[in-house]
Amino acid sequence: MVVDTCMDHVPVDLYDNEEMLNGFINCIPEDSGYRAYVGSTAGGLRQLLLEKPEGLDNLNYVDGEYSLKVKLDAMDECGVDAGIIKIPCWQEWLDIKTCRMVNDDAAQMCADSDGRIFALAAVPPWDDEENYRELERCIGELKMCGVQMACHYGERYLDDPAFRPFLARVNEMGIPVYVRHTPLPADWKHLVDYNNVRRTLGRVIDQSIAVGRELFSGMLGELPNVKFVHTLLGGNWYGVAASMIPRKSARAESMVRLESDSREKVLEYLDKNLFFEATHASTLGKDQLESAVKICGADHILFGSSFPVFHGWMSDGVKMIRSLDITEEEKDLILGENAVKIFGLK
């Protein structure tokens, strides 16, 4: 079974539903530096754009790319059995009213998919009973398989105490958290000048900051039941894991420059609580993916494509995983078995 754990979802009627569209556009904080508006592609299709700073686009949602038929046709073509849908990045700002509409739309798509599409709940992560009721509705009534969160909200990453009550409720419910990268990290000004740096490295840095803060804050000790699935291999976490989690020196040093006393606890968190989605695996390359498997373990990596950003990210991604010099059992874990286990798919 092949499961694409990262399929972007935008309500199909977004551009014709004024209440929904206004919910997306008006939720952006005025002082955030973002600008959201509806424009047109070169071919005349409507698109919802997000710019930061103004004039530099970071997200483009093109009308017609997010229907169930488009998803299922691509899945059939690429050999993908099931997909998990989520709002790409916009969950950083959506208010509870708009979240309800988004969740209802996603649940309807799941119901119409003959069991091939699953959804993650979109809920503001603040300590509010209305938010908790929506989370419980999504999991209990709408049968969603987890909750989606952004890497950070404003300048607050998920280790911030403001999110602890919400995450404590998630911990009690025993549901996974899919942590989506945001368009740019909280500190972004030196990333915006060049398109590929802004749209790729910005997301990678955002993920690695989030993973580091979750690991070293101690928050995972309070949330033992929560499994966090981070996109973009956790900001290529495998590449910095050894240096970020140093062993104690064999001799007494004149001063302690890196904290190593928490090494065993951090490794435990990595094993029990942190998982990494290989977003658009085909762009990562064979060497990088094999290194990630060696360091993180095939049981901690999930396949994802970010479809429909690029159609090829789904088809080429499946082929890339199958081409790796790892065991067939490890390929099966990455392509679907990990997703089935973590998200409880049936």
* Predicted confidence (pLDDT) per residue in 296-305, tens digit: 999 999 999 9
pLDDT greater than 70 at residue 257: no
Comparing 163-177, 216-230, 254-268, 332-346, the range with the smallest average pLDDT is 254-268
Predicted pLDDT of residue 189:
78
CB atoms within 10 A of CB 250: 6
Predicted pLDDT of residue 106:
98
pLDDT greater than 90 at residue 311: no
pLDDT band (50, 70, 90) for residue 185 = confident
Q: With a threshold of 0.85, does the pTM exceed it?
A: yes
pLDDT greater than 90 at residue 282: no
Average pLDDT of the chain, as a whole number: 92
**Residues 110-168: pLDDT tens digits?**
999 999 999 999 999 999 999 999 999 999 999 999 999 999 998 899 999 999 999 99
Alpha-carbon gap, residue 97 to 115, rounded angstroms: 27
**Type of residue at 128:** D
